[in-house]
């Protein structure tokens, strides 16, 4: 008959499989109807080191469904890798949906610092000194980011100053 029974499946997984295969969930054999069935070329149970997974391949119109398996040496590392993967996928989703990129780290502060320094050149006396001091204070953010990333902070901030002076408004620490 080629019937595969899958036990202990999460509710979210049922929804994803149904959406991908184009079927409806059947909780009771009494509600079984052929129009509720989906289609896949191959469904197989594959043994892994710590259990079994069900692999579904050859789905027509697979569309947007992808499976990523995360493995780790312990639960803490696994949880952290799942959170990191989730964050990365959310960033990709935002890039695709919103279609814009944000500037590198410290770019807004460097741009403000650059514009304030230019303005300070047009001022005289104490006003010039105060504006220039605030411009330098804005550079603390990219300096700290570079330092925390293990980079040469002085070199990075100097490079960012030059890039902003050259008109690269989105230049920051990537």
User: Which residues fall within 8 angstroms of residue 168, CB to CB, at 6 or more apart?
Assistant: none
For residues 138 and 161, what is the distance between their CA atoms, to the nearest angstrom? 12
H helix runs in 99-152, sequence order: 107-122, 125-138, 140-148
pLDDT in tens, 144-174: 999 999 999 999 999 999 999 999 888 888 8
For residues 138 and 114, what is the distance between their CA atoms, to the nearest angstrom? 9
H helix runs in the chain, sequence order: 11-21, 75-98, 107-122, 125-138, 140-148, 153-165
- The top-level CATH class assigned to 1-67 is alpha beta
pLDDT in tens, 33-92: 888 888 888 888 888 877 888 888 888 877 777 888 888 889 999 999 999 999 999 888
- Domain ranges for the chain, please list them: 1-67, 69-100, 107-165
Contact 13, 67 (CB under 8 A): no
Q: Rounded to two decimals, what is the model's pTM? A: 0.48
């Amino acid at each position: 008959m080629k019937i595969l029974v899958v036990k202990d499946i999460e509710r979210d997984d049922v929804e994803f499989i149904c959406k991908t295969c184009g079927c409806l969930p059947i909780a009771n054999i009494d509600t079984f109807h052929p129009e509720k069935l989906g289609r896949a070329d191959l469904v197989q149970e594959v043994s892994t080191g710590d259990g079994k997974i069900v692999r579904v391949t050859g789905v027509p119109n697979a569309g947007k469904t992808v499976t990523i398996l995360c493995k780790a040496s312990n639960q803490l590392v696994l949880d952290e890798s799942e959170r990191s993967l989730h964050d990365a996928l959310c960033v990709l989703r935002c890039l695709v949906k919103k279609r814009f990129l944000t500037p590198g780290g410290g770019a807004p502060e460097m741009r403000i610092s650059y514009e304030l320094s230019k303005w300070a050149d047009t001022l005289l006396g104490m006003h010039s000194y105060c504006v220039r001091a605030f411009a330098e204070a804005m550079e603390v953010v990219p300096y700290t980011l570079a330092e925390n990333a293990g980079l040469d902070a002085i070199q990075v901030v100097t490079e960012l100053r030059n890039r902003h002076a050259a008109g690269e408004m989105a230049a920051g620490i990537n």
